[in-house]
């Protein structure tokens, strides 16, 4: 039974990774494959003989699938069940934060990252930095001397711009949250790729990659600007621009996650 359980979970993980990689390469989610995989996970969970660790891993995988589909609350419910059954205590918050960021809930992601990032293992620090950058937590990069990956230099410059004007980076997060909530409502895929640029005299720019016709992107940028003007008014608004730009095949890359299921 244990060998069968291991094999089933390994196959489930490999299939989810295949779906995830196809999404990263095309910005199109295979809904049929996702639904088929969900049904398989739910069937495995009905087996009363599987161990607690395998049950935890299955709930984690199901949460990841649901998060990619935009079903955030259902995803969180399964991540919580994974934690209940013994999944790594650091894994669950970062998995939830990843789902939040993918679905435009930047403030929620930041609150989780702030609580747990200091306890995270060293092998995921690079990924945490990417999450911090996406969540607008540029203050952590203020005094860094690192230059790689390239976004760290821009985050450091953004932090200096904010500090010189007495602006807390939570104001950046609030605006990213507003913009990303609009973006996620109007696109057909999770928020996957973003780019940050910052330079004194030029300001701070966040660009999100979206697969859509150019006329739809132009309309979406108007909606983002309208939402930002309706919801925010402060000195940061003279320094910050947030927009969507067209996804292209050369932007394809691996979708990173904080944790992968380990079969033991």
pLDDT over threshold 80, residue 138: yes
Most confident of 85-94, 214-223, 250-259: 214-223
pLDDT, residue 254, reads 42
**What does the alpha-carbon distance between residue 44 and residue 55 come to, in Å, rounded to a whole number?**
9
Residue 262: which pLDDT band, with cuts at 50, 70 and 90?
very low
pLDDT, residue 82, reads 98
Mean of pLDDT values over 176-187: 98
Residue 6: which pLDDT band, with cuts at 50, 70 and 90?
low
pLDDT over threshold 50, residue 264: no
pLDDT, residue 165, reads 97
Tell me how far CA of residue 35 lies from CA of 65, 66, 221, in angstroms.
Answer: 9, 9, 32
pLDDT over threshold 70, residue 210: yes
pLDDT, residue 249, reads 80
Mean of pLDDT values over 12-34: 95
**Domain 2-87 annotated CATH 1.25.40:** yes
**What does the alpha-carbon distance between residue 109 and residue 173 come to, in Å, rounded to a whole number?**
10
Residues of the chain with CATH 3.30.70.1350: 132-251
Mean of pLDDT values over 56-82: 97
Mean of pLDDT values over 16-40: 96
CATH T-level topology, domain 132-251: Alpha-Beta Plaits (3.30.70)
The torsion angle over the Cα atoms of residues 257, 124, 98 and 204, rounded to 10 degrees, is: -120
**What does the alpha-carbon distance between residue 85 and residue 94 come to, in Å, rounded to a whole number?**
17
Percent of the chain past pLDDT 90, that is, above it, reads: 80
pLDDT, residue 118, reads 86
pLDDT, residue 4, reads 52
pTM, two decimal places = 0.91
Mean of pLDDT values over 17-45: 96
pLDDT, residue 131, reads 94
User: With b meaning 16 or more CB within 10 Å and e meaning fewer, what string describes 224-260?
Assistant: beebbeeeeeeebeebbbbbbbebeeebbeebebbbe
Residue 258: which pLDDT band, with cuts at 50, 70 and 90?
very low
Mean of pLDDT values over 129-142: 95
- Residue 77's Cα: distance from chain center in Å? 17
- Work out the end-to-end distance of the chain between its first and last CA atoms, rounded to an integer number of angstroms: 14
Residues of the chain with CATH 1.25.40: 2-87
pLDDT, residue 261, reads 42
pLDDT over threshold 80, residue 38: yes
Taking only the tens place, the pLDDT of each residue in 153-180 is 999 999 999 999 999 999 999 999 999 9
Phi and psi (nearest 5°) for 261? Answer: -65, 130
pLDDT over threshold 60, residue 260: no
Residue 252: which pLDDT band, with cuts at 50, 70 and 90?
low
């Amino acid at each position: 039974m244990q060998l069968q359980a291991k094999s089933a979970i390994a196959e489930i993980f490999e299939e989810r990774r295949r779906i995830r990689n196809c999404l990263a390469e095309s910005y199109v989610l295979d809904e049929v494959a996702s639904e088929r995989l969900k049904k398989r996970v739910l069937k495995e969970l009905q087996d009363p003989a599987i161990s607690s660790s395998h049950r935890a891993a299955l709930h984690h995988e199901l949460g990841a699938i649901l998060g990619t589909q935009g079903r955030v609350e259902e995803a969180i419910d399964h991540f919580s069940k994974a934690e209940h059954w013994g999944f790594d205590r650091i894994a669950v918050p970062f998995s939830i934060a990843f789902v939040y960021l993918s679905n435009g809930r930047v403030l929620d992601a930041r609150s989780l990252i702030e609580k747990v990032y200091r306890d995270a293992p060293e092998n995921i620090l690079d990924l945490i930095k990417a999450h911090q950058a996406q969540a607008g937590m540029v203050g952590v990069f203020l005094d860094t001397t690192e230059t790689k990956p390239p976004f760290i230099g821009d985050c450091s410059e953004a932090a200096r711009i904010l500090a010189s004007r007495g602006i807390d980076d939570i104001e950046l997060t609030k605006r990213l949250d507003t913009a990303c909530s609009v973006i996620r409502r109007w696109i057909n895929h999770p928020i996957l790729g973003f780019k940050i640029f910052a330079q004194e005299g030029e300001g701070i720019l966040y660009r999100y990659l979206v697969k859509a016709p150019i006329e739809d992107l132009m309309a979406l940028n108007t909606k983002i600007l309208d939402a930002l003007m309706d919801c925010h008014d402060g000195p940061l608004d003279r320094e910050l621009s947030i927009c969507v730009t067209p996804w292209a095949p050369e932007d394809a890359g691996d979708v990173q996650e904080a944790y992968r299921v380990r079969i033991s």
